[in-house]
Amino acid sequence: MQKAVVALESTVISHGLPYPRNLHLAQEMESIIRGLGANPATVGVIAGEFIAGLSPAQIEHLATAQNVRKVSRRDLAIVAARQEDGATTVATTMWIAQRAGIQVFATGGIGGIHRHTGAGVSSDVSADLQELAQTGVIVVCAGAKAILDLPATLEYLETHGVTVIGYGSDEFPAFYSRSSGLPVDVRCDRGEEVAAIWQAKRRLGLPGGLLVAVPVPVADEIPGAEIEPAIGQAVAEAAAQGLRSAEVTPFLLRRIAELTGERSLRANLALLRNNARVAAEIAVALAKMN
């Protein structure tokens, strides 16, 4: 049987949580994947080297080091040339995972199209969406981050040929919330079903990735009606401060955690663990098929 491997991003380690909570989460996600019969491969950049499968010492380094660059696709050449340390986003984790032959990747939520705060449509489009359209990796997530324009994000994915699977759900999850009211392209309830669709996509020679959207566990959900006021307030505050591009998402997630008394943080941690489990199931199923 081919080896089952699940890639994990490192932005959540260097930029998502304080130490030592970030280190404990990284270790726990790797442990979950191993417990289900797959091998974890946390992705990051150490001294300009792209690594799919950081050692425990390297993970601890990213959890504690200062000035670790948040690496999107545009930053890859910079960190390589300057031999910098870097924490990978969804887009760059996909790119490095594909180069390493890893087909399954677990994350929290993908980036997407930001909500507009005035007239017109937002032009702030995450590099994650373009990467999904061109890089062949199965991405397991809890949908797009709830701070985003979810209908516009799904429209972009449809236009660029990215199939969206609801794992145990007929609707696209809204990160903190299990339901968005937006339909997915197809529902799958088992890892084997996802693996079969992925194999068919590859046989047909279709480019790009596959998005598997997994609802946050019921016990940790924040219903949309409860979280939306906090999101709306955070978005308005970001606009008032004139935040743009890479500044926006960290501010919004931090502010929402403050407004919800860290309830949103607990939901975020729960969905990360859950996504790791689902990704391991898919990776094991895919390895058996291969």
Active site residue 84: no
Residue 99, exposed/middle/buried by CB under 10 A (0-12, 13-18, 19+)? Answer: exposed
Per-residue confidence band for 171, with pLDDT thresholds at 50, 70 and 90: very high
| C-alpha dist (Å) from residue 25 to 19, 222, 268 | 10, 21, 11
84 vs 234: CA distance, rounded Å? 32
Residue 172, both tokens: 């696209």
Record the pTM: 0.95
| Mean pLDDT calculated for residue range 173-184 | 97
Amino acid 110 reads I
- Nearest Cα to Cα of residue 195 among 216, 212, 208, 207: 212
Active site residue 9: yes
| Mean pLDDT calculated for residue range 42-68 | 97
- Are the beta carbons of 143 and 180 closer than 8 angstroms? yes
Q: Catalytic residue among 9, 30, 131, 281, which? A: 9
- Nearest Cα to Cα of residue 169 among 160, 181, 161: 181
**Per-residue model confidence as pLDDT tens digits over 58-92:** 999 999 999 999 999 999 999 999 999 999 999 99
Report pLDDT for 121.
47
Q: Catalytic residue among 60, 131, 145, 281, which? A: 145
**Per-residue model confidence as pLDDT tens digits over 208-267:** 999 999 999 999 999 999 999 999 999 899 889 988 777 787 888 889 999 998 899 999
Residue 217, both tokens: 């566990």
112, pLDDT greater than 90: yes
Pairing label, strands 39-46, 86-88: antiparallel
- Nearest Cα to Cα of residue 94 among 79, 119, 111, 81: 111
164 vs 143: CA distance, rounded Å? 9
| Mean pLDDT calculated for residue range 142-156 | 94
Q: What angle do CA 161, 163, 166 make, to 5 degrees?
A: 160
Report pLDDT for 273.
98
Q: What is the DSSP string of 99-137?
A: HTT--EEE-S-B--BBPPSSSS----B-HHHHHHHHS--
**Domain locations in the chain as residue ranges:** 5-289
**Per-residue model confidence as pLDDT tens digits over 198-209:** 999 999 999 999
120, pLDDT greater than 50: no
Total residues belonging to the chain:
290
Q: Look up the CATH number of domain 5-289.
A: 3.40.1790.10
100, pLDDT greater than 50: yes
What percentage of the chain has pLDDT greater than the value 70?
Answer: 97
Residue 57, both tokens: 């010492």
